[in-house]
């Protein structure tokens, strides 16, 4: 394999970077990785790394090139290959001062290290087979996760959750391919019983049936990773802002009994059943002469058009009016739930006036005032946004467009393989498709990874990761 643990010119370079965020703190870590890591460490400290117990912290003074003391630090050596990158790695746990961190990085560079590029440590780890590509992506997602559930799913992916599903299927494709190739060579399928058309079709079907649930996990996996935008819409005074405050758990928006209170839109990020959701409160949809409110209504329409889901709010304490119907027609073009608010008041509207008699489906009764029904609303939102959310909790779902494309490619190649086997075509035909499916799965795991894919992934990592 060609070197792809970073820019080719950096092959053999020893890289250095802070591994902790900038700014003052209790501890900051500077990490070195590469063949000269221990030589550079020896230049910075009185330690002789060869004599140190691996993966054990020792205390030492860190000095600059002129021998001036920079800090008292704790140091750990991770000899290759048992390190994060698979190379020799040294970590310096410094006092969390940006000035000390800068000075130590400069001293390491003076001793022969080069500053790391974003994601270069992880890219080297991938290159040295410490993780497959989906695991590297899981690591990036774990760091970026916005909710506990998203973090848990990313952790499963980082630990190889996708590879453990896909790897064995790839093995099965390869052994099917071997049987097909044997049949091509011998030319007589009776000599290779497992390459009989029915056998091939059966094996292909089995593999497809394992890939299909994985593909279905994408919608939910993507939501947990990327989050979603949910707009609160409805006419004036139905309690949209109070609902936002209730969902956000804080007094975010001004609530008032006068209609037309909210002019601009307001947003709050909340976790709804583990999905990171940006909830946007909008100005009530109504005809108005007030020029500022009219601008607000235009903005509401924009927000509704961009939302992944609209919560259309009705005031359950009063009868549904023509303005509600008119506003609902605007919102109903988007995926939506009907929220009947003010359930603490005697029920006048039920939502069925708008839902067209579809009893219960997509209608949630809540009280933004008391909090009644809010948990059911959160659950209903999660169901709408991530229909197979159970998959996210149970396994490592597909999370990226790249994953989806690879699995779709594999499935469509398998579909063709099945068709040509069923049509009794000679084994060359299904073989070509099985080979393509197997390659698609190899791409998913990064076994064949074009340089651009790696560049694209790792440059999004932070420096030092």
Ligand X SMILES: Nc1nc2c(ncn2[C@@H]2O[C@H](COP(=O)(O)OP(=O)(O)OP(=O)(O)O)[C@@H](O)[C@H]2O)c(=O)[nH]1
Nearest-5° angle of CA 176, CA 177, CA 178? 90
By CB under 6 A, residue 44 contacts ligand X: no
Q: How far is the CB of 378 from ligand X (least distance, A)?
A: 16
- Per-residue string for binding with ligand X, 316-345, x by CB under 6 A? -------------------------xx-xx
By CB under 5 A, residue 97 contacts Mg ion: no
- Cβ neighbors of 205 (< 8 A, separation 6 or more) are 418
Contact 263, 283 (CB under 8 A): yes
By CB under 6 A, residue 288 contacts ligand X: no
Number of residues located near ligand X, criterion CB under 6 A: 23
Q: Which is nearer to Mg ion, 185 or 256 (CB)?
A: 256
By CB under 6 A, residue 260 contacts ligand X: yes
**CA–CA dist 148, 159 (Å, integer):** 16
Among 230, 255, 297, 385, binds ligand X (CB under 6 A): 255
Among 229, 261, 288, 412, binds Mg ion (CB under 5 A): 261
By CB under 6 A, residue 367 contacts ligand X: yes
Q: Which is nearer to Mg ion, 60 or 236 (CB)?
A: 236
Among 6, 227, 284, 351, binds ligand X (CB under 6 A): 284
Return the SS3 of 374: helix
Q: How far is the CB of 371 from ligand X (least distance, A)?
A: 9
Number of residues located near Mg ion, criterion CB under 5 A: 4
101 binds, among ligand X, Mg ion, none (CB under 5 to 8 A by kind): none
Report the C-alpha dihedral over residues 110, 112, 117, 118, rounded to 10 degrees. -80
Q: How far lies 144's CA from each of 151, 232, 276, 446, in Å?
A: 8, 26, 12, 21
Closest-CA residue to 222 (of 389, 455, 336): 389
List phi, psi (to 5°) of 369. -75, -50
238 binds, among ligand X, Mg ion, none (CB under 5 to 8 A by kind): ligand X
Alpha carbon 331 to its chain's center:
29
Q: Which is nearer to ligand X, 83 or 241 (CB)?
A: 241
By CB under 5 A, residue 20 contacts Mg ion: no
* Sole window of 365-373, 374-382, 406-414, 438-446 interacting with ligand X (rule: CB under 6 A): 365-373
Please give the residues from 183 up to 242 whose contact with ligand X meets the rule CB under 6 A: 236-242
Contact 386, 275 (CB under 8 A): yes
Contact 282, 309 (CB under 8 A): no
**CA–CA dist 282, 231 (Å, integer):** 7
By CB under 6 A, residue 257 contacts ligand X: yes
**90-104: string of b/e by CB count within 10 Å (b at 16+)?**
bbbbbbbeeebbebb
Structure tokens at 324: 């509600």
Q: Which is nearer to Mg ion, 130 or 286 (CB)?
A: 286
Among 157, 208, 262, 438, binds Mg ion (CB under 5 A): 262
* Sole window of 194-202, 227-235, 238-246, 395-403 interacting with Mg ion (rule: CB under 5 A): 238-246
260 binds, among ligand X, Mg ion, none (CB under 5 to 8 A by kind): ligand X
Alpha carbon 44 to its chain's center:
39
Residue keyed to tokens 């330690």: 47
Return the SS3 of 405: helix
Among 369, 393, 409, 416, binds ligand X (CB under 6 A): 369
Residue keyed to tokens 């973090």: 151
Q: Which is nearer to ligand X, 142 or 377 (CB)?
A: 377
Among 45, 83, 217, 241, binds Mg ion (CB under 5 A): 241
Q: Which is nearer to Mg ion, 31 or 240 (CB)?
A: 240
**CA–CA dist 71, 132 (Å, integer):** 37
- Cβ neighbors of 451 (< 8 A, separation 6 or more) are 4
By CB under 5 A, residue 83 contacts Mg ion: no
The footprint of Mg ion (CB under 5 A) covers 240-241, 261-262
The footprint of ligand X (CB under 6 A) covers 236-242, 255-257, 259-262, 283-284, 341-342, 344-345, 367-369
């Amino acid at each position: 394999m060609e070197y792809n643990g970073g820019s080719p010119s950096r092959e053999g370079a020893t890289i250095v970077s802070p591994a902790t965020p900038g700014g003052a703190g209790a501890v900051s870590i500077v990490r070195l990785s590469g063949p000269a890591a221990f030589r550079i460490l020896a230049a910075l400290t009185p330690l002789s790394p060869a004599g140190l117990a691996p993966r054990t912290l020792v205390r030492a003074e860190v000095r600059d090139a002129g021998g001036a003391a920079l800090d008292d630090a704790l140091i750990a050596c991770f000899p290759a290959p048992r390190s994060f990158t698979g190379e020799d790695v040294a970590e310096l746990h410094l006092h969390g001062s940006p000035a000390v961190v800068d000075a130590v990085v400069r001293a390491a560079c003076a001793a022969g290290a080069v500053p790391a590029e974003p994601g270069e440590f992880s890219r080297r780890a991938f290159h040295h087979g410490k993780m497959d590509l989906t695991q590297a992506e899981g690591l990036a997602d774990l760091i970026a996760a916005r909710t506990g559930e998203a973090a848990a799913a990313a952790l499963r992916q980082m630990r190889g959750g996708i590879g453990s599903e896909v790897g064995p299927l790839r093995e099965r494709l390869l052994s099917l391919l071997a049987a097909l190739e044997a049949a091509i060579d011998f030319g007589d399928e009776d000599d290779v019983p497992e390459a009989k058309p029915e056998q091939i079709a059966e094996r292909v079907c089995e593999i497809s049936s394992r890939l299909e649930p994985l593909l279905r996990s994408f919608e939910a996996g993507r939501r947990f990773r990327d989050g979603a935008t949910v707009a609160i819409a409805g006419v004036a005074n139905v309690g949209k802002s109070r609902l936002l405050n209730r969902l956000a758990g804080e007094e975010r928006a001004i609530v008032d009994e006068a209609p037309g209170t909210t002019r601009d839109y307001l947003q709050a990020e909340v976790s709804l059943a583990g999905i990171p959701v940006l909830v946007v409160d909008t100005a009530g949809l109504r005809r108005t002469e007030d020029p500022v409110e009219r601008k607000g209504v235009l903005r509401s329409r924009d927000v509704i058009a961009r939302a992944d889901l609209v919560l259309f709010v009705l005031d359950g304490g009063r009868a549904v009016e023509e303005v509600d119907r008119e506003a609902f027609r605007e919102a109903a073009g988007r995926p939506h739930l009907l929220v009947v608010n003010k359930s603490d008041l005697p029920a006048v509207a039920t939502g069925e006036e708008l839902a067209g008699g579809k009893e219960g489906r997509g209608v949630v009764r809540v009280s933004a005032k008391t909090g009644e029904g809010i948990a059911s609303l959160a659950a209903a939102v999660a169901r709408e946004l991530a229909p197979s959310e159970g998959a996210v909790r149970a396994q490592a779902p597909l999370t990226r467009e790249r994953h989806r494309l690879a699995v779709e490619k594999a499935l469509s190649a398998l579909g063709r393989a099945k068709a040509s086997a069923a049509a009794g075509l000679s084994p060359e035909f299904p073989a070509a498709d099985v080979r393509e499916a197997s390659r698609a799965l190899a791409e998913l795991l990064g076994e064949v990874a074009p340089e651009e894919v790696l560049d694209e992934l790792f440059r999004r990592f932070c420096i030092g990761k």
